């Protein structure tokens, strides 16, 4: 194993991060930039490892690093605690009342926002007042994550 092959997952993560940032700044589509950044890093890892015995562990290591990066990015976008603190900071010294926060974080509002995001990204489609699967990319990711948890932890997410 060469030192380049040993560093391949870390270098590929750097490619992932750089590609994701550049794509997001150009197009402004966060989810698409995350996907494309991940696959750019995956290709870089495969090229750096070559067709050798280091390829499978390199790809698995890169996949784990990419998974961590995805959740690092996603943390600031979806974690309610972080969003609440950020909104309180933006509200200034007067802050927000509990009623104002409840209005922003009402279960119906949260569901509506998530459904709208899924529809806008064509991950689900609405027809005849019902929601159905659209582009299956997120479904494939969810299944891959369940498989990784099952392989690494010996159980699926449902049992965690």
| CB-based contact 160:148 (threshold 8 Å) | no
Query: Of the candidates 110, 103, 9, 122, which has an alpha carbon nearest to the alpha carbon of residue 58?
Result: 9
Give me 119's structure tokens: 């529809």
Helices (H) and strands (E) in the chain, counts: 7, 2
pLDDT tens digits in sequence order for the chain, 160 residues long = 677 778 999 999 999 999 999 999 998 888 889 999 999 999 999 999 988 888 999 999 999 999 999 888 877 666 777 788 888 999 999 999 999 988 888 888 888 888 998 899 888 999 998 999 998 887 887 788 788 778 877 766 554 4
pTM value surpassing 0.75: no
**Residue 116 CA, distance from chain mean position:** 18
């Amino acid at each position: 194993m060469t030192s380049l092959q040993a560093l391949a997952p870390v270098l590929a993560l750097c490619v992932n991060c750089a590609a994701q940032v550049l794509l997001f700044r150009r197009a402004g589509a966060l989810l698409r930039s995350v996907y494309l950044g991940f696959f750019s890093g995956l290709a870089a890892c495969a090229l750096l490892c070559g067709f050798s015995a280091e390829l499978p562990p390199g790809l698995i290591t890169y996949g784990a690093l990419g998974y961590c990066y995805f959740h690092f990015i996603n943390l600031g976008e979806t974690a309610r605690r972080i969003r609440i603190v950020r909104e309180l900071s933006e509200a200034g010294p007067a802050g927000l009342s509990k009623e104002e926060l409840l209005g922003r974080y009402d279960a119906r509002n949260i569901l509506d926002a998530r459904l709208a995001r899924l529809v806008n990204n064509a991950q689900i489609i609405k027809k005849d007042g019902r929601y159905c699967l659209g582009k299956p990319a997120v479904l494939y990711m969810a299944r891959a994550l369940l498989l990784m948890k099952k392989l690494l932890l010996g159980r699926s997410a449902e049992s965690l």
